Chain A
């Protein structure tokens, strides 16, 4: 029996080593150690042995079992690793192939810029106010120091609903509505749609967006106006942006100004974008006219304020170098997808 066990051990080691995969190895295991296996068959002969031989052979048999189990386990581990490696190799992907994309939603470019402007002013303590787009002549003109017959009314070709009701030509009426309802200190921006009867072309649209700003408090000066608009320009167009304030005229501000920023493409040297000027006009502003304050019940001797109005389309077109305003209202997916 001893010889049988030795022979089995030698033979088994070879068969285990030769098992090519886990299935073959399992077959070897069953053949060796199973209920009807070869080791069991040898052990079944134990009954024929003498009492002295039994413990010796028993120990040998246990050693043989232990050894075979060890060999089987080692072989199983090796085969497992090989098989994992084979499977992983078979699973190799061309990792350069395109990913499967989820559809992304795109903010409208006007919203992208408006949200930035809102962030900037919210950070400066401004709230966001709104007002009606279909507005009374009073709020759009009269209360802004533009009485009937005022020549500046002509520069804002107006859509009328009735003699007294119109589509607002500017967001400035929101100033008046806010000042009527809220006592200083006031810090608001009022973005919204405005309407002028301009035929559609690359730079005109009968509908566009403005962002109005208004600050009223004691001791507000033009220095505050400059500081706030400087900050807007730098945040929107970069820290190196310079501003230029030019005197201008608006009926509802006095003094009034137009504000240019240094061209963000050429930095002020002059290029086609700024038409060689080095400056790009972006907004109009000024100190709130005392007549406007007084008309809203705010004492102009005690309070002063500044206001500004900026065209959102203009900002957006500069920002993204869009050369045709119509694209903003056509909403082609190929356009929207760029933002």
Chain B
């Protein structure tokens, strides 16, 4: 959560070293653990704008709406300014942007003539100073900002000093464990510790007032496990008006809009202490009662933002005798706010259980400044000081009459946490050598007390729970940069698992085949299954479904990488890439019910398109991959009924025992059309687990042949439907071990061949390890092959 810190405000609390630059401050804070996101000088772009007084003003001779003013800008200098504003009068004090000045928005102002009259600068509106009506409620909405008595009206004074637009705002990113730093005092404490300065939080005085608050207000906590503390006070005869300039200024620097004195006080205390406060109009607290309880069945509340909301029964509310008036720690009800006719108010300074507030805010979809703080678990100890501080401000601003006393319901105060002070352990754990006294000093500066081997943790540091937490405090003020950097010692056996080695090998092989690796989302739309043609009820449609997806497009975890691949191929095609050869080791997710995590397995997906690609190019890549990883002995079968693939151009690789190895083929025209593909595309999917289980990684050297090979060509004729693989298997089996290589070199159908037949030509390379083959031996092999081929309906082609 971000926190904007006013430098002026902080300097009230801690005396930082003289001459410290904004950057040096920001760097030091960042390195001690309060991360600075930005440093901004208020009105940083304004230049050469000063306080002036209008000494004379008269109508422009050639215009019915322009005025010509003489403005005294101090030092005996007077400038003439032509203005179109209608609210400027003689003796008014105005911001004067002189010749060669810059106003908000970076606009440069130069002398010039307006209808023939010299205008030597410009008088500025609030907007031209980068301010709003919230900063100066008395200023005219559209017109020149006439400086009021709350500004320093010394002539010639720089306008930023004059109106208090000269703070430096440091924006911090505060981590969720440090709600105490979402406050000026918290950050001032960190700053003091960073620069080794003393620091103390001033204790606000106990308020004095007429009467007894207990006669007007009764507080009951019905859910003490959800509300740790509730403190309240009453102010009568409230005078609702704008806050003084100094207070408005600090709120503005902190990024909070000034509203009126009462609301501003609650915000001021929240910024100062980190404790959210609320002010109720006593008129609307029926019975003068505050009951902190969970909501009743069917209860509703209209919140300050005007929305009516249903309350769940486990939500904590602030109620009066009859109805809820606020959602505890989140937002007040519509009548709880301060109105012009508000007479008496109740200040609430309470502490609620963080998880409770977080859940309620989340359920209502209503995350507020207060809820964002409460959900980080605040310190109940600060409720009463904050209430007193608010009353102190009421007195200071003369905003009403304080009723005597405070109501403080604090069912179970927690004792301070004590931790062992173990400087040696800290040194060993962090790897430093920081003396015990130095460690104690660091902790004391943070508000801890160190005595008798024990650390007493301040109540606002709920995050300090054990000695590791203490070590971080020591380390960050000792300086992370002073911790030595040491290489890891000792030996360790770092290696890849067989599966990781196989992944690497698959990647390398596919890269060598010219395929490029892609990285696609693991989730997609359930419509993806329609697009790849899966019928209703297909088992692949059973997906792990995200209950709160960003959109339908990313709502189910993929069970197949095919849609991801097709989408990527289509994107390349649509981007006019002539060809693409892609692969991905894609994880797929298959549900196993609510009690078991889904099965996550990898599929190797390969996809191609382009002028030189076809089914065999794809199959060649798959075969090369299988050869490289050492998978063999699989059967290749034509697949005619996979709806994703072309019925005549798809195959699967399976083992005899039924284990699935791969599916591949040309994508069916209907599916390609679903992806608006203007070209044929080819996709292969290989099961990683099968590759891992069936691979034979062992490589044993075979001696190079010592005797020459003999080649024989075999031209066959067979039925057009006969798979080449059947012929190959038949030849291999009949030829036996002498067959070194079987090369298909021609397949032909056409006029030379009878209808329904095809010609298939193989080259056989034969070799024996025992000696040079004779022609008779080679012919014998061929004869055996021809005989066996006869049994599958293939015969020698008559030449």
Chain B residues whose C-beta falls within 8 Å of the C-beta of A141 in the assembled complex: none
Pick the 9 closest A-B CB pairs, nearest first. Answer: A125-B492, A149-B355, A221-B431, A223-B431, A247-B33, A255-B472, A105-B511, A103-B514, A249-B175
Interchain nearest-CB distance for A209 vs B (Å): 8
Q: Can you report 29 A-B residue pairs in the complex whose CB atoms are below 8 A from each other?
A: A105-B511, A106-B511, A108-B516, A111-B519, A121-B494, A122-B494, A122-B495, A124-B494, A134-B557, A159-B548, A193-B587, A199-B550, A207-B523, A221-B431, A222-B430, A223-B483, A224-B431, A226-B486, A244-B481, A246-B31, A247-B480, A258-B35, A290-B468, A331-B571, A332-B575, A332-B577, A333-B579, A334-B575, A336-B517
Which stretch of B270-278, B451-459, B594-602 is in the interface?
B594-602
Residue tally, chain A, CB below 8 Å to B: 80
A287 CB contact (under 8 Å) in B429, B547, B575, B577: B429
Interchain nearest-CB distance for B769 vs A (Å): 35
> What's the Cα separation between A219 and B486 when bound, in Å?
13
Interface flags for B26-54 (1: CB within 8 Å of A; 0: not) read 00001111010000000000000000000
Chain B residues whose C-beta falls within 8 Å of the C-beta of A155 in the assembled complex: 176
Residue of A nearest to B572 (CB): A333
Interchain nearest-CB distance for A221 vs B (Å): 3
Give the interface of A toward B (CB within 8 A).
Answer: 102-108, 110-111, 121-128, 132-136, 148-152, 154-155, 159-162, 165, 167, 185, 187, 193, 195, 197, 199, 206-207, 215, 217, 219, 221-224, 226-228, 230-231, 244-249, 251, 254-258, 287, 289-290, 304, 328-334, 336-337
Q: Is the interface of B mostly helix, strand, loop or mixed?
A: loop
> What's the Cα separation between A221 and B35 when bound, in Å?
24
A249 touches B177 (CB 8 A): yes
A111 touches B492 (CB 8 A): no
Task: Take A105-B513, A165-B594 as given contacts and tell me if A185 and B375 are in contact as well, using a CB distance cutoff of 8 Å.
Answer: no
Residue of A nearest to B504 (CB): A115
Chain A residues whose C-beta falls within 8 Å of the C-beta of B521 in the assembled complex: 206-207, 329
Interchain nearest-CB distance for B623 vs A (Å): 16
Determine whether B633 belongs to the interface, using a CB cutoff of 8 Å to chain A: no
Interchain nearest-CB distance for A115 vs B (Å): 8
Task: Take A161-B546, A221-B429 as given contacts and tell me if A247 and B476 are in contact as well, using a CB distance cutoff of 8 Å.
Answer: yes
Determine whether B496 belongs to the interface, using a CB cutoff of 8 Å to chain A: yes
B495 touches A127 (CB 8 A): yes
B549 touches A223 (CB 8 A): no
> What's the Cα separation between A221 and B427 when bound, in Å?
9
Specify which of A230, A329, A332 lies most central, judged by the most chain B CB atoms within 10 Å of its CB: A332
B597 CB contact (under 8 Å) in A125, A128, A135, A199: A135
B33 touches A246 (CB 8 A): yes
Chain A residues whose C-beta falls within 8 Å of the C-beta of B84 in the assembled complex: none
A215 CB contact (under 8 Å) in B430, B484, B488, B518: B488
Determine whether B580 belongs to the interface, using a CB cutoff of 8 Å to chain A: yes
Task: Take A185-B490, A207-B523, A245-B480 as given contacts and tell me if A151 and B516 are in contact as well, using a CB distance cutoff of 8 Å.
Answer: no
Interchain nearest-CB distance for A163 vs B (Å): 9
B484 touches A226 (CB 8 A): yes
B32 touches A104 (CB 8 A): no
Chain B residues whose C-beta falls within 8 Å of the C-beta of A160 in the assembled complex: 546-548
B597 touches A165 (CB 8 A): yes
A125 touches B516 (CB 8 A): no
Determine whether B228 belongs to the interface, using a CB cutoff of 8 Å to chain A: no
Chain B residues whose C-beta falls within 8 Å of the C-beta of A185 in the assembled complex: 490, 492
> What's the Cα separation between A331 and B488 when bound, in Å?
38
Chain B residues whose C-beta falls within 8 Å of the C-beta of A246 in the assembled complex: 30-31, 33, 35, 480
B510 touches A105 (CB 8 A): yes
Determine whether B447 belongs to the interface, using a CB cutoff of 8 Å to chain A: no
B431 touches A126 (CB 8 A): no
Determine whether B589 belongs to the interface, using a CB cutoff of 8 Å to chain A: yes
Task: Take A247-B33, A249-B178 as given contacts and tell me if A337 and B494 are in contact as well, using a CB distance cutoff of 8 Å.
Answer: no
> What's the Cα separation between A103 and B497 when bound, in Å?
31
Chain B residues whose C-beta falls within 8 Å of the C-beta of A227 in the assembled complex: 485-488
> What's the Cα separation between A199 and B476 when bound, in Å?
35
Determine whether B491 belongs to the interface, using a CB cutoff of 8 Å to chain A: yes
Chain A residues whose C-beta falls within 8 Å of the C-beta of B490 in the assembled complex: 125, 185, 217
B429 touches A331 (CB 8 A): no
Determine whether B520 belongs to the interface, using a CB cutoff of 8 Å to chain A: yes
Chain B residues whose C-beta falls within 8 Å of the C-beta of A105 in the assembled complex: 510-517, 581, 583
Determine whether B475 belongs to the interface, using a CB cutoff of 8 Å to chain A: yes
Task: Take A104-B514, A333-B577 as given contacts and tell me if A206 and B554 are in contact as well, using a CB distance cutoff of 8 Å.
Answer: yes
15 additional A-B pairs beyond A125-B493, A150-B176, A221-B431, beta carbons within 8 Å, are A105-B515, A105-B516, A111-B517, A122-B496, A124-B494, A133-B587, A133-B589, A133-B600, A167-B546, A167-B557, A249-B176, A257-B480, A290-B466, A333-B516, A333-B580
A133 touches B522 (CB 8 A): yes
> What's the Cα separation between A328 and B514 when bound, in Å?
19
Interchain nearest-CB distance for A194 vs B (Å): 11
A254 touches B468 (CB 8 A): yes
Chain B residues whose C-beta falls within 8 Å of the C-beta of A224 in the assembled complex: 431, 486, 488-489
Residue of B nearest to A226 (CB): B485
Interchain nearest-CB distance for A180 vs B (Å): 15
> What's the Cα separation between A150 and B176 when bound, in Å?
9
Determine whether B388 belongs to the interface, using a CB cutoff of 8 Å to chain A: no
Determine whether B428 belongs to the interface, using a CB cutoff of 8 Å to chain A: yes
Residue of B nearest to A161 (CB): B544
Specify which of B472, B554, B572, B581 lies most central, judged by the most chain A CB atoms within 10 Å of its CB: B472
B492 touches A254 (CB 8 A): no
> What's the Cα separation between A124 and B490 when bound, in Å?
10
B481 touches A332 (CB 8 A): no
> What's the Cα separation between A126 and B589 when bound, in Å?
28
A206 touches B518 (CB 8 A): no
Determine whether B507 belongs to the interface, using a CB cutoff of 8 Å to chain A: yes
